[in-house]
Amino acid sequence: MAATSIKNLKEFSTSNDRFEGAHTLCPGCAHSMIVRELMNCTDDNLVIATNTGCLEVSTAVYPFTSWDTSWIHIGFENAATAAAGAEAMYKARKRKGSLKDNDAPVKFVAFGGDGSTYDIGFQWLSGAVERGHDFTYICLDNENYANTGGQRSSATPIGATTTTAQAGSHSYGKKEKKKDMIAIMAAHGAPYVAQLAPNKWKSMAKGFQKALETEGPCFINTVSACCTEWKFDPKDTIGITDLATDSLIFPIYEIIDGHELNILYRPKNVIKVEDYLAAQGRYKHLFKPEYKHIIELIQKDVDDKWNMLQRREEARI
Amino acid sequence: MQHLKLLANDNRGLNELENGTGLVGWNEVTQGSILPSFEGDATNIAHLKSEERTYSGYNSYTATVASWRVLKPVYNRDICIDCQNCWVWCPDSSILSRDKQMLGIDYDHCKGCSVCVEVCPTNPKSLIMFSEQTLLEDALTQWPEKKKKEDK
């Protein structure tokens, strides 16, 4: 393992970029912050598979590629399977000694958006994790199908307006709650499952390094603020992510071996979810008097979840 | 700064396509095609800085998105404390940092999102957005004064 030093930002900044610019992601997109950080936090060779989604269509616009590592794109659902297959082949060839460099450390990573992780690629991901392949799956969770124009996914939280769950006079947007993917993946018994956010770069880099080091399937859900579909100014990407982690909408925590929960970030001043919702255009309608109760509902859910996480951490379960 | 001169050229890949130098059109690409990111051996790439690498014409590093910008960030070396916040959060790998020092902005790959300006902690900020046409020298003369703390 040749992990880059992440003691502080100055040390970290001496690492060399392996995710190149001039991809066509929106200005201010958090996807590239997350991907860049993953590729910078290790010197090992990386084999990366990517589901269809914003990241894939933007980083491989023919005739260009933004990836300085082995990278494959196949279908909407099967990045997990592709990474698992590549890893199985690597192990077999390593055993036979038929690799070009048998000692070179290689890490397998799969990227998917929330659509391809929570919905379309769910079965593939579940299968690959159950089979215990040594790879890291990173979900770039922007809470909708941003690549195709912002349809609802099962990661879209309650109350958000999307193109297929529109808010209006008869609806407050999506009516269903967000799927708890971290709990589902932890229930698979995966050795490392975490939820991380790019504004806390250090805990994110630490989590990435831990996941890459850990043998077996690791799952990381990262918060990726989407300026286009969440409807905020691109310059506020980090600010919105700060609000998300400080209001505990996205608590940052890890679950080891499915039963050891650690909270990685405790905000000094917990803010109300109202502040987070107010900063985004997709929740604008919730501030009308008839939909005010949804904000209270979201606040209650967030508080309950935070209590649950704290109790679990205390009880070491 | 000179040694960091970038290779970007607005339509490098497209020129090669049109001139027929071995590239096929997007509609002729078959399954399992490979685009090499580098010329020659790429095993040691994680240990090379971008100016030491031999990028191939397929690498998006050789392309530019400068035309996306309306505003551009201007960098003031005199105020910068090299905290590297802008480096870690730049979505376009456009902050040039070498040996723990910030050197400047890669205007070939910057899309002008102003994330770097927002995360800059100095007072006044060492990165400020100016309109794309503003000359860098002019921008530096228009730098705002240090803001005083508001009286409570």
Q: Which residues of A touch B113 (CB under 8 A)?
A: 27-28, 234-235, 237
- pLDDT higher than threshold 60 for residue A194: yes
Sign of the Cα torsion A95, A101, A106, A108 reads negative
* Tokens of residue A209, six digits: 């390094």
Candidates A7, A9, A13, partner chain B, best to mutate (most B CBs within 10 A): A13
Domain layout of chain B by residue ranges: 2-62, 66-141
CA-based angle A79:A85:A91, to the nearest 5? 135
Put simply, the answer to whether B65 touches A24 (Cβ < 8 Å) is yes
Residue A3 placed within a domain: no
Amino acid at B120: C
Q: Which residues of B touch A226 (CB under 8 A)?
A: none
Beta bridge partners of B129: B73
Overall size of chain B counted in residues: 152
What is the rounded CA–CA span in Å between residue A93 and residue A89?
Answer: 6
Residues 6+ away with beta carbon under 8 Å from A200: A245, A252, A264, A265
The shortest C-alpha distance from A231 to chain B (Å) reads 14
Q: Are B110 and B73 in contact (CB under 8 A)?
A: yes
pLDDT of residue B152: 52
User: Which CATH number characterizes residue A86's domain?
Assistant: 3.40.50.970
In tens, the pLDDT along A263-299 reads 999 999 999 999 999 999 999 999 999 999 999 999 9
In this predicted structure, which of A52-56, A88-92, A114-118, B148-152 has the lowest mean pLDDT? B148-152
Give the chain B residue whose CA is nearest to the CA of A73: B32
Q: Which residues of B touch A65 (CB under 8 A)?
A: 35, 37, 58-60
Residue A4 placed within a domain: no
A86-103 mean pLDDT:
92
pLDDT band at B22 (very low <50, low <70, confident <90, very high): low
Instruction: Give the count of domains, chain A.
Output: 1
Sign of the Cα torsion A41, A135, A192, A184 reads positive
Put simply, the answer to whether B60 touches A23 (Cβ < 8 Å) is yes
What is the rounded CA–CA span in Å between residue B85 and residue B89?
Answer: 6
* Tokens of residue A262, six digits: 């650690």
Put simply, the answer to whether A237 touches B92 (Cβ < 8 Å) is no
Put simply, the answer to whether A20 touches B61 (Cβ < 8 Å) is yes
The shortest C-alpha distance from A235 to chain B (Å) reads 4
Give the chain B residue whose CA is nearest to the CA of A13: B100
Q: How far lies A40's CA from each of A151, A245, B92, in Å?
A: 32, 23, 14
pLDDT band at B23 (very low <50, low <70, confident <90, very high): low
B66-141 carries CATH number 3.30.70.20: yes
What is the value of ipTM here, to two decimals? 0.91
What is the rounded CA–CA span in Å between residue B52 and residue B36?
Answer: 17
Closest CA to A197 of A138, A242, A232: A242
Task: Give A272-289 as a 3 state SS string.
Answer: CHHHHHHCCHHHHHHHCH
Q: Which residues of A touch B43 (CB under 8 A)?
A: 45, 101, 104
pLDDT of residue B36: 86
Cβ-nearest to A13 among B8, B23, B100: B100
- pLDDT higher than threshold 50 for residue B2: no
The kind and range of the H/E element at B75 are: strand B71-75
Cβ-nearest to A235 among B23, B57, B114: B114
The domain containing residue A155 runs over which residues? 9-315
pLDDT of residue A66: 94
